[in-house]
Amino acid sequence: MPQTRSSISSSVSFRLGLTTFCVFAGVALPLAGQVDWRPLTPANTPTGRAGHGMAYDTVNDRIVLHGGYDGTQRLADTWVYDGNDWTQVQPLNSPGIRVAHPMVYDSIRNRVVLFGGLDASGVTSDTWEWDGQDWSLMSPAISPPARRSHCMVFHPIRGTTVMWGGIDANADVNDTWEWDGVNWRQINTQNAPPARRASDMAWDPVGGGVLLFSGYQQGPDTWYFDGVDWRQLQPVTTPPQRYDHTMATDLLRRRIVMFGGTGTADTWEWDGADWVQRMPVSLPPARYDDYMVWDSLRERVVMFGGLTGNPDLWEFSTDHPARWAAFGGGCVGSNGRAPLHDVGGLPWAGEPFEVAFTNLRIPATTTVAFIGFSNTNWGGFQLPFALDAFGLTGCSLRVEPFVNQGIPSNNGRAAFTLTMPTDPAALGLGFYTQALALDPGANPGNATTSDGGTAVIGIR
């Protein structure tokens, strides 16, 4: 996984406070081409369609698809995609014929939720849930008015499925509702986007809210629901107006991905503050009324169908995902706890990456961070290397201490920040971290070591 030190030292630069380790590389890393679309070619596939519903069932690792319109008729079939192939399932119960019905996955109750849409007779207001094997018609005491072409997204902070807008039997609406698995409740907001259909919205992992963009007969407006109220945003960059587009949240890169809409084949992302147009090497044909979901196991956005005439399946992801994981263990200090890594982010190119250690002795003493490029060998010594001979009972050196730096500690926590390099040669580069903390009385050597951390530099 990690490159050799010689290949690294010619291409990579980090900053640790005022200390630079390795050799500075100032080559700018272009965003274009670092994320890309790729066609998927399963042996079996649903017929071409648009206006279908789709959601990723995390527990069962399946994309669930239901209904849609194939150009001649409304459909009532249910399919699942396991990452390799599509299979049509024959559940005992089914929502039946359905078009323009969003579907979302409730990650707390592990259910796919479907509401409304067009059935054989018109717009409907029924609520269905998929448990991985069968559909169940729910019986809430309160239900929103019937509608189609509305938006739904699961709100992990509220723990509910949030629904907005659409068109009822007569006109566009702009009401906000939430489903808790038992009942629907209207969320009365002071502000709301103008009524519309054929919009889309997605969860924003950066701001912790829901983002909505444009829609039928609307301008290129961006709206944000913070869980209490709606507000219109004024981003510096704005995609062109569109409707019947599709949006999904890339949880790895913490971006909302938007594709297509009527007459368009462009790819846009919301980074938590602004829209950014991506220029992938490959691009699906223009389409609308398609559907995208986030496949969390394979860490990719998956798109199927839409009005293109083809039942095609595409994935969209970064070519170089960032990674971080802890390994091994630390040794117990005088406080009865072992120092551990405390890392909340990922090492993305050009961005700061904080590495922290917790469970340190209070009051603070000196903590030294080790950064290296191997966790198997250091100067002919095999890693991990037991430090018992130096009085550090039960402690091990787990990473090559290619760079070591004292870092300040506060309230049992010490942290430093590395600015990830912007040299294309650094993509996929692996490095390792560990801490040694002075701890009088912990052992004869008066110091403890943390677990190891392994990181791989990626590009969003």
For residues 174 and 149, what is the distance between their CA atoms, to the nearest angstrom?
A: 12
Among 318, 339, 369, the domain-final residue is 318
List CB contacts of 123: < 8 A, sequence separation 6 or more.
116, 117, 146, 147, 148, 167, 168, 169
Shared-domain flag, residues 172 and 300: yes
Shared-domain flag, residues 161 and 75: yes
- Residue-wise DSSP of 341-356: E---S--BTTSEEEEE
Shared-domain flag, residues 96 and 222: yes
Instruction: Name residue 13's beta-bridge partners.
Output: 22
The closest of 206, 209, 231, 208 to 221, measured between CA atoms, is: 231
Among 288, 318, 348, the domain-final residue is 318
> What CA–CA distances, in Å, run from 335 to 120, 379, 441?
68, 33, 10
How many angstroms from the chain centroid is the CA of residue 431?
23
Asked whether 459 and 34 are in contact (CB, 8 A), the reply is yes
Which two structure tokens, joined as six digits, stand for 338? 């072992």
Give the global pTM.
0.91
> What CA–CA distances, in Å, run from 244 to 103, 277, 311?
15, 18, 17
Shared-domain flag, residues 194 and 334: no
Instruction: Enumerate the H helices of 217-354 as residue ranges.
Output: none
* CA end-to-end distance (rounded Å), the chain: 19
Shared-domain flag, residues 63 and 139: yes
Shared-domain flag, residues 83 and 95: yes
Shared-domain flag, residues 289 and 156: yes
Bridge-based pairing of strands 323-327 and 313-318 is unpaired
Shared-domain flag, residues 76 and 25: no
Whether the bond into 2 is cis, omega within 30 of 0: no
For residues 53 and 6, what is the distance between their CA atoms, to the nearest angstrom?
A: 51
Q: What is the CATH number of the domain that holds 46?
A: 2.120.10.80
Q: Which residue has the tokens 């849409």?
A: 117
Specify the number of domains making up the chain: 2
Shared-domain flag, residues 284 and 375: no
For residues 138 and 439, what is the distance between their CA atoms, to the nearest angstrom?
A: 59
Shared-domain flag, residues 185 and 69: yes
Residue-by-residue pLDDT tens, the chain, 460 positions: 444 333 333 333 344 433 434 433 334 444 444 899 999 999 999 999 999 999 999 999 999 999 999 999 999 999 999 999 999 999 999 999 999 999 999 999 999 999 999 999 999 999 999 999 999 999 999 999 999 999 999 999 999 999 999 999 999 999 999 999 999 999 999 999 999 999 999 999 999 999 999 999 999 999 999 999 999 999 999 999 999 999 999 999 999 999 999 989 999 999 999 999 999 999 999 999 999 999 999 999 999 999 976 799 999 999 999 999 999 999 999 999 999 999 989 999 999 999 999 999 999 889 999 999 999 999 999 999 999 999 999 999 999 999 999 999 999 999 999 999 988 889 999 999 999 999 999 999 999 999 999 999 999 9
Shared-domain flag, residues 66 and 138: yes
For residues 164 and 152, what is the distance between their CA atoms, to the nearest angstrom?
A: 6
Shared-domain flag, residues 11 and 59: no
Among 318, 347, 374, the domain-final residue is 318
Residue range of the domain that includes 290: 35-318
The closest of 401, 399, 404 to 384, measured between CA atoms, is: 399
